[in-house]
Amino acid sequence: MKYSFAMRFILLIAASGLLLLTSCKDDVIVKPSAKLRLEYPIPNYELTSNDCPYNFAKNDIAELQFKKNCGVNIKYPEMDATLYLTYQEIQNNNLNKLLSDAQKLAYDHTIKADAIPEQPYVNPEDRVFGMFYPIDGNAATQAHFYVTDSLSHFITGSLYFDTKPNFDSIFPAVVYLRQDIRTIMESLTWESETE
């Protein structure tokens, strides 16, 4: 019985395929996609001390850089993040303008933000009144806030990461730092009050 060249070629390919299929006995294991797990230390807060008319509790992993006019940059080196605080005195009945400017700063991120809920903060005992804006989405800032005593002092704060905004990637750090911002707001006291 003679086989043609084409028939021999087909039999050779079939035999090779069969040999390959029977020689591979390793089962294919599908690995789950990896998720980055970022863990941060349990916060330990300490009261700040400075020559400015306000103090607050800060996380001990943060570094303070005092600026002119009582502004403060609160740096988080492990997260490549900075919380920028700006202090202004209330003068010549400019409280409404300061409030409007602070709200505008938060809502300037509406284009990239998925949500900007308002979370009021009221502490009449220490005369601290304000608003916290957690900003969800790929906006330039992930949190903004302001606090005031409504008579003499006004502080705004914005959280920025030193990276291109990617909310999913930085979300664990955002959650951690938003809690720091709430602690700053809740622990803030004014050094001199106008009664």
Q: Tell whether 15 is covered by a domain.
A: no
Q: Tell whether 140 is covered by a domain.
A: yes
Amino acid at 18: L
Q: Tell whether 14 is covered by a domain.
A: no
Q: Tell whether 112 is covered by a domain.
A: yes
Lowest mean pLDDT among 2-16, 22-36, 49-63, 133-147: 22-36
Domain count, the chain: 1
**The pLDDT of residue 18 is above 80:** no
Instruction: Tell me the sheet residues that pair with 129.
Output: 122, 148
Domain residues for 86? 53-190
CATH number at residue 173: 3.40.1000
Q: Tell whether 119 is covered by a domain.
A: yes
Lowest mean pLDDT among 39-43, 139-143, 164-168, 190-194: 190-194
Q: Tell whether 141 is covered by a domain.
A: yes
**The pLDDT of residue 131 is above 80:** yes
Q: Tell whether 158 is covered by a domain.
A: yes
The predicted model gives 123-143 an average pLDDT of: 93
Contact 178, 142 (CB under 8 A): yes
pTM for the model stands at 0.77
Confidence of residue 194 (pLDDT cuts 50, 70, 90): very low
The predicted pLDDT at position 32 comes to: 60
Rounded CA separation 87/191 (Å): 13
Rounded CA separation 135/144 (Å): 7
Q: Tell whether 85 is covered by a domain.
A: yes
List, as one string, the DSSP characters of 122-153: EETTTTEEEEEEE-EES-SEEEEEEEE-SSSE
